[in-house]
Structure formats: C-alpha cells, structure tokens
Structure 1
Amino acid sequence: MSFAGKYQLESQENFEPFMKAIGLPDDLIQKGKDIKSISEVEETGDDFKVTVTTGSKVLVNSFKVGQEADLETLTGEKVKAVVHRDGNKLKVSLKGIESVTELVDANTIVNTMTLGSIVYKRTSKRM
C-alpha cells in the first residue's frame, strides 16, 4: 500500500501531556489542540516528502527510507535521523521520541509517538 495522499486529522489522544513533555509552550498547545491538521504524503519508491499543515504552521520533511536525513521536530528543531520501513509502517526515533506511522487501511493513517510513558496517538483519514 502507498502512503501517498492527503489526510485530515480525525482524532488524537494525549495531545496536551505529550506537547508539554516535549517543551511546547502552553499558548501553542492551546492553539493547536483543536486544529485539524492536514498531512500530505508524496511517495516515490523509497523517497518521501511529508508536509503537515497545522493552522499557519507548515512542517516539511523529506527523506529516503534507510538513509540519514535532516528532519524537523514538532518543536521546530532539526535533527539527523533514519526512517525505517517495516511493511506498512514508517519508524523513526527523534530525540528520545519513538514515532511509528502506520497505514492501517487504504484510507487511515495512525501516527503514534512515545516519549517515556506518554503515548500520543493521532488518527488521520484520507481526504
């Protein structure tokens, strides 16, 4: 299955505790919690470009599966990381955050980010 497409956030769990844990300021957390972000995924073989638009904030990450890339975190920091593909899952570790993005069916992406004991889960549907 291909990840390529546009997805809109449908639901999220543990948004506030996770964002506090990664150091996002309270005003940004309050602004962001009710915004339905749009994720656009372009996939060409092992090359990916992921654009996430949340209100006026746009986060763009491009990477090739299995190769080191500069990725921007939720806090805007750039870190070097390697994204691995395991079937219909993309896995990456960014500064202690384990992120797994899974294509659960043709129209649903679930992104789970784990930091210590906090698990933040986002479910997005294809538009």
Structure 2
Amino acid sequence: MVDAFLGTFVVETRNNFDGFMKGVGVPDEYIEIARKVFPTTEITKDGDSFTVKRIRPQKTTSNTFKLGEETEVETIKGDKVKVTINMVGSQMVTKGENYCVTTEMDGGKLKETITLKGHTLTRWSKRA
C-alpha cells in the first residue's frame, strides 16, 4: 500500500494556505512569496526507509523515516518535531505533538492534510 505514494509530485492546489501560514507564525512577506511557489515532492524507498524530499526555490528539505519508529522531521515552517509515521488503512499518518499530516491518494493525486498548532492546510499534488 505504501508503494502507491512513491514518485514525484508537484503541488497543484491548496486550501487555506494563507490562514494556515499566518496561524503558524509565518511572516506576511514570506507568505506573499510562498503563495506563488508550487513545491515538488519526491517520495522514495530504500529497504525499510522512506524519504520525503520537498523541493522549493529557497530551500529543499529531506526527511527519512521508518514506519512505526519515532523520528525527527522538519515542518513546513522549518521547525523540527518528533513524530511517528504509520499506515492507517490507505493513509500514511504522521503524528507528533501539535502536528499531524495525513497523506493519501485521492483520484490519482497525492492529498496531504497538514495540521500544525491547530491550523490546517490541505494540498493536492499531481504526478510529475
């Protein structure tokens, strides 16, 4: 089931981008710049480890993890948080303190619902 997430995706649409970014403390000038950026996500697998790489013009982040094991990841804001990532049905669920990401395939697109400090952003990415 996890193999369905492997590949390269480009953000196509986002819901509540501005509200989410403001809510988690991103300055307005950065939000204005980021609004025009549609990051690329590369999800790869090497043995039992997965790597999620987010490619943006100003910064690329890379988080590697094993399902069911606690790990530290970098958030959309650049903070480091400890999380555990598990498969729950057809969803990959990342949970940490005040942080949750639900990743699933929705109509052939990668759908990510990100909740950080009570603020939620949903984005859909198409295969590149």
How does the TM-score come out when normalised to structure 2? 0.88
Determine the C-alpha separation between the residues in 1 that align with 2:69 and 2:117: 26
Within the candidate set 71, 75, 78, 2:77 is matched to 75
Determine the C-alpha separation between the residues in 2 that align with 1:6 and 1:44: 15
Range with bigger deviation, 53-62 or 37-46 = 37-46
Determine the C-alpha separation between the residues in 1 that align with 2:118 and 2:69: 28
Gap regions ≥5 residues in structure 2:
none
Return the offset for 1:72: 0.7
Range with bigger deviation, 14-23 or 108-117 = 108-117
Return the offset for 1:116: 6.3
Return the offset for 1:118: 3.7
Which segments of structure 1 move beyond 2 Å, counting only runs of 4 or more? 43-46, 114-119
Q: RMSD across aligned C-alpha pairs, in angstroms?
A: 1.7
Letter of the 2:112 partner, please give it: N
Secondary structure, aligned partner of 2:32:
helix
Q: Give the total of aligned pairs.
A: 126
2:32 is matched with which residue? 30
Gap regions ≥5 residues in structure 1:
none
Q: What are the equivalent positions in structure 2 for 1:46-125 lying under 5 Å apart?
A: 46-105=48-107, 107-115=108-116, 118-125=119-126
Letter of the 1:52 partner, please give it: R
| Identical counterparts, % of pairs | 32
Determine the C-alpha separation between the residues in 2 that align with 1:98 and 1:22: 13
Q: Is the 8 A contact 1:88 1:104 kept in 2?
A: no
Determine the C-alpha separation between the residues in 1 that align with 2:116 and 2:79: 16
Determine the C-alpha separation between the residues in 2 that align with 1:89 and 1:99: 10
